[in-house]
Structure 1
Amino acid sequence: MSGHANDSLNEHRDGHATDHTCGHLEIERAWLLRGEPAMPASRWSIQIEQGYLLGDGGLLRGARLRRAVDPAGAVHCTMTRKSGKGLVRQEHERTLDAGSFEELWPHTSGRRLRKVRHVVPHGSLKWEIDGFIGLDLWLAEVELPSVDTVVEPPPWLAPWILREVTEDPRYRNSALALRGLPQ
């Protein structure tokens, strides 16, 4: 990343262009699907584009920029850093204003993806079904309150599951943005 981009990223880290910061443990399981499942009418959809900034140690030490458009048409821009691997990861997310997002977005060139996320409430959990634009790929994810939470895929989803990919780094969004579909 250029010196200018590092300066911009440092400015964002210092909070000058953000209005909200949060960090938490993300406990999430993910499954590869054989296609787009028929989802209940209770779902809502979000249009997402995200790109990855390179850090000093490469992509894994960088940050994700995301612009999401919710069902009401509101645009939400964030910068997120994740660490760890597999089921439990540390996540730090900041809200960005549109100008800050646009300033950083060009530095993600070649490391981007677009997807439609369908959010489906089921019991106490929210299932996220991601369809990746330009890739023949569908993933299901569910964030859990603890590592001990027993997960039973909903009846409408279970027939579409090929296998769990929680521990497979090839199916992380950052890997998909950089390398495309796993071979």
Structure 2
Amino acid sequence: MPMEIERKFTVRDDAPFKGQPAVPVRQGYLARGEREEVRVRRVGDEYSLTVKKGSGLERQEFETSIDAAQFDALWPATEGCRVSKSRRLVPLPAGRTAHVDVFEGRLAGLVTVEVEFEDREEALAFVPPAWFGTEVTDDGRYANKELSSSGIPS
């Protein structure tokens, strides 16, 4: 069963991602439940359809590539449940990569960072760098599916 294991944090103002190239990300939610979601996503020129089940540190994730026409056909169904952001990949020690998301539109001002892991033990042993802010892995308000309609958490 495919698993996604990741930790998510806010980002401090002195984060070292500013010079990194950014890739535009557009994602919209076709279905959102308390512990599941179905989304379409465009990252640069790549398109995908993803189903996620669970919440927090470990979730099941099923993702398949779709083409631009399929994305365009599904996109209208996501009205009111969308996220627009730019993503920067920042190298971390031990060969890890920080995925820094700078949100746009009504979420402008929010910046988060996610780090993915091979297993739970690796995730729990991770010591975040000083530029990472508060951990929000288990705070559902920071889940993209929630941000897509509720806005920036207060």
- TM-score interval for Structure 1 and Structure 2 normalised by the shorter chain: 0.7 to 0.9
SS in 1 for 2:76: helix
Gaps of 5+ in 2: none
**Structure 1 vs Structure 2: percent identity of aligned residues?**
38
Tell me whether 1:114 sits opposite 2:114 in the alignment. Answer: no
Which of these two proteins has the greater Rg computed from alpha carbons? 1
Write the distance in 2 (CA, Å) between the matches of 1:112 and 1:35: 25
Partner of 2:72: 102
Tell me whether 1:65 sits opposite 2:40 in the alignment. Answer: yes
- Please tell me whether the aligned partners of residues 35 and 137 of structure 1 are also in contact (alpha carbons under 8 angstroms): no
Partner of 2:7: 29
| Pairs within 5 Å for 1:1-183 | 24-35=2-13, 37-39=15-17, 43-54=20-31, 58=33, 61-69=36-44, 75-122=45-92, 123-134=94-105, 135=107, 136-149=109-122, 150-154=125-129, 158=130, 160-183=131-154
Quote the offset at 1:44 in angstroms. Answer: 4.1
Partner of 1:17: none
Write the distance in 2 (CA, Å) between the matches of 1:33 and 1:26: 21
Query: Under a length normalisation based on structure 2, what TM-score does the superposition of the two structures give?
Result: 0.88
- Render the CA deviation track for 1:36-68: whole Å, top value 9, x for unaligned: 622386x4432101000036xx58544111011
Write the distance in 2 (CA, Å) between the matches of 1:179 and 1:40: 27
Query: Under a length normalisation based on structure 1, what TM-score does the superposition of the two structures give?
Result: 0.74
RMSD across aligned positions (CA)? 2.0
Gaps of 5+ in 1: 1-22, 70-74
Write the distance in 2 (CA, Å) between the matches of 1:36 and 1:91: 32
Partner of 1:13: none
